[in-house]
Chains A and B, each alone.
Chain A
Amino acid sequence: MGETATSEPTGPSRTAIDTALRSIMSDVLALDPEQVAEFDGDTGLFGHLPELDSMAVATLLTEMEDRLDIIIEDDDVDGEMLETYGALLAFAEAKVIEG
């Protein structure tokens, strides 16, 4: 995606991160963009979406690293960050700021 940290001195905006994350979810879970557009902060992910198995989670994290230009450490990955869309978005935002 075009929204990389290098394009703006302050890094991608919250909206840009949200857009990138929804696009990744659509690709990894093979869902229509319209379906993913309906995700809100409380939408359950791991344990709620049958498509989200271990391979899908691994692909999701690796795509997030690629498209958001962040590094996700082994220790960062826990059940909490994957529980809801809101939690995952908050995690991504924190990583981008940290980045």
Chain B
Amino acid sequence: MGGMMKYLGILALVILGYLLSIVYNPQWDLTQDKRYTISAAAKEIVAEVDREMMITVLLEGNVPPSFRNYRSFIDYYLNELRRANDNINIVYKDPTEGSPEEIAQFKRYLQSYGVAPISRRVTNEDELSQSVIYPYISVHTEDRVIFVNLLDSKRPEQTEEEAILSSQVQLENKLMRAVRDLSEERTGLVAVIGGQNQLLAQGLNDLRGSVGNYFYFPMNGRQLMGQMDTVDMVISLLDRSDLPRESMLAIDQAIMSDIPVAWLINKYNVSVDSIARYGEYIALPMEYVAEDMLFKYGVRLSTEMLMSMSCAPIPQVVGQEGGQAQTMLIPYPYHPLVQISDEGVLPQSSDPVLMKYTTPIESIDGLEGRENTALIETSDYTHLQPSPVSLGFDFLRVEPDPADYGDGPQVVATAVTGLQRSYFANRLSGSDREMMQSAGKQYISETSQSRQVMMADADFAMPAIGADGSLFPIGYNYWDRQLYDGNQKALAAILEYLVNGTQLNDLSEKEISISLIDPIAFEKRSTWYYFILIGLPVLIGLLLTLLVKVLRKYRYASRT
């Protein structure tokens, strides 16, 4: 009876422990990189979900082996979200399953959101086949849906596994962005003002939520002044023309009203086409009146043009064959690939950001209570070319020498936050006052909570226009026909930082240190490894059994 009672006692204790664990549920993540621990920022976002939210995993069906680890991580992560807030429900849907009509209908629905499948080769019982998968998750509430692309585009130097791993690092950030955006009651409004604002707004709206839950609206100064109370952010373009005075006033007053402002500035208006047209081109820097305003806010745009050894290529004719020009992609230092700086304001990302004909941004010390933080920098091998810049392609014939690129990393995007005084202090004209009065706005001369970002390139966010007039997505480089994901990500991170601070950006600091298998290393010592994996257990088994037999024999022999 004692044994039974003891066990019943233990059982009661375990039941009590289990009930306590349901209430408190502590969890120990023993992995080195704590990759299975939801970050505090993500928990905060998930806790705020107060209505039903459905997360649908579309990465189903014949998933290639290289995706299985990621797929299992997604399962785990979504379960954790489900555990953290039961308003979140998880469903799985294979878009390739169902009747042909259902599949076609669902495919059309996905296409309307820009969701396209990818195909990979898989082996099934020694047969090679193509597997079509949708590496997406949709997050939807009753009235809205956001599709999250689970797979970042693969860079040329990456293997598929490496690309999947870097996508895994970004999962939390992307998913939380979608969850947070859907938790918000309304879609934000971003005023795009100056320069090619129509084109930029169209490019951003085409991304359908992947660069924040905003509607991008091209505006002029008067419109911005009139809608100041409803605008969440302003993007100001200085890319071909200067800003009219009323736009400058509206932006100034937006800053004074604590509305975040992103400045995208082209100091040089040059393109590969313009150089190709003339063979050699002397580029002169643009002089914008609005630069005076930027100076007041704490930054100055240098006139020196940046050249970087880390750069995107352009096609160049390298010879003739059979009467046909032979072209080759050659790295072009005036199209630098820049990186998020490690100041910790923007999330670290391995995806480079493509810029073109850019210049450094210098910070100006001035007001106490104002802070300048570097956001994006060029590589260590950077060269500054003084103005005026003579541009041509002849120098590409010579292999670049790292010694010529010794000016070190240069800041090309910076954040300016804190105390800010109005550029229009003591210089308000009658027409300025009239404009403000007609919008019902009072002039504000100072703020202590301003937030601005200045980027020394407007083209990095501008969609390229195809020959038929259609728009390529932001980040697409016409010259090497590559989509630079880093551009969209950097833009999304900057807008996120401007509106919400660093909450979501903190999520991306997680590093995942899973190593990949090196099949060649296995191949080199395969006999030895097979011995350890299969031969050694067999040997141990044999030896142990023999040992037991011998011991038994010895014991019985010694007894007789």
Asked if A pairs with B, the answer is no
Residues of A within 8 A of B (CB): none
Residues of B within 8 A of A (CB): none
